[in-house]
Amino acid sequence: MKNKIYFLLAVLTAGVLCAPALTQAQYQTRNTHFGVSGGNINDISRRFCCSGTLGSLVSNGTTQYILSNNHVLARTDQAAAGEDISQPGLIDNNCQTPPIVADLTAKVALGNNVDCAIAAVRAGQMDSGGFIEGLNGPGGVPSSATASPAVGMTVQKSGRTTGHTTGTIGSINTNVTVQYQPTCGSGKKRNFNYTNQVVINSTTFSAGGDSGSLILTNTSCAHPVALLFAGSSSTTIGNPIADVLSALAGTGHSVSFVGTNCTGPASPASDAQSFQLPQQALDRANRVLERNRSDFMSRPAVLGVGLGALEDNATAAIVVYVDKTNPFKAQLPNQIDNVPVRIIMTDPFIAY
């Protein structure tokens, strides 16, 4: 998987990354809804063009904005305010300029623990009600009220590549190291460290090109939980939505979600995917995690560490993500201070 998703200019036939276009057409063609293909029209190089997902609609009360990632809207810190944002993205228009729907307004610089940016919507170009393609199945408007992520919470997202998918939060309060590529399909790769991230452990929840998707509770009253920005073949990583809104406020843009005022539960009371661990056990595991977090992250091949559960979801655990492609073998205990340690082997985390 690549930084966002990119298309080889010299080869315009469908490859592995382009194959989903055959089954996810509504997410990759002209669509005024959110959770669909889009990006910066300058996100193109001699050989490649890149795109991501226009995740959701936010507003400051007078102006409506598209919310997505810095690396989707702002070209990994390189864009200037006012640059054109298109829907669909370049990759879904044969690298030719698609319809322009918004103008880049503000970005939070990478290295500030979130990957986010907003773009002011041009009149009539996107749905003013905040409708997200595929939300809760057919699609719909999210709750304007956010929810805090929790271990075991069932979630959903709509994105350019995999469309509407559901999953379960596997860890929270997670430190991760994420790899970025500065220009579309080229340039020296750089790592950024993040803290307090949300991780969904799933091979099907997202893929390259889904960056920018809004992660919401999988309930009829769908509350925003996190902003998807990275992952691997077996994980998805999101910034907690409270951190995203706070960071945007720091740029002078205090925004909230355009949606309904529904106040339903953040997580289903009964669901085959969901589970709930005793808060006391989670609190204790989290204290042990904090005492040992730096030690875990300093070990060879460790990509991340957070608060989660054992594979059977019966017990709170420290979850350690280990790079299976790294030749160095991480030496990790089975438990620490009587808190179990769960090891998840994965490939490197990348911003896609």
Domains of the chain: 5-121 (2.40.10.10)
Reading the block at residue 161, the tokens are 């590549």
Contacts for 148 with CB less than 8 Å, ≥ 6 apart: 225, 240, 242, 266
Lowest mean pLDDT among 95-99, 183-187, 227-231: 183-187
Give the pTM. 0.93
* Measured distance CA(336)–CA(254) in Å, rounded: 42
Reading the block at residue 296, the tokens are 């875990």
Lowest mean pLDDT among 4-8, 196-200, 207-211, 308-312: 4-8
Is residue 179 within 8 A of residue 350, CB to CB? The reply is yes
DSSP state at residue 91: G
Q: What is the pLDDT of residue 264?
A: 80
Write out pLDDT tens, residues 285-297.
999 999 999 999 9
Contacts for 46 with CB less than 8 Å, ≥ 6 apart: 9
Q: Is the dihedral of CA 62, 136, 72, 26 positive or negative?
A: negative
* Measured distance CA(292)–CA(51) in Å, rounded: 38
Dihedral angle, C-alpha 260, 264, 266, 270, nearest 10 °: -140
* Measured distance CA(271)–CA(291) in Å, rounded: 33
Write out pLDDT tens, residues 333-346.
999 999 999 999 99
In the chain, the N- to C-terminal Cα span, in Å, equals: 7
Q: What is the pLDDT of residue 9?
A: 45
Reading the block at residue 77, the tokens are 């810190």
* Measured distance CA(187)–CA(352) in Å, rounded: 15
Q: Is the dihedral of CA 6, 8, 9, 13 positive or negative?
A: negative
Is residue 18 within 8 A of residue 9, CB to CB? The reply is no
Count of CB atoms situated within 10 Å of the CB of 123:
7
Q: What share of the chain is helix, strand, coil (3-state, %, to 5)?
A: 10, 40, 50
Write out pLDDT tens, residues 12-63.
322 223 333 334 799 999 999 999 999 999 999 888 999 999 999 999 999 9
Count of CB atoms situated within 10 Å of the CB of 94:
11
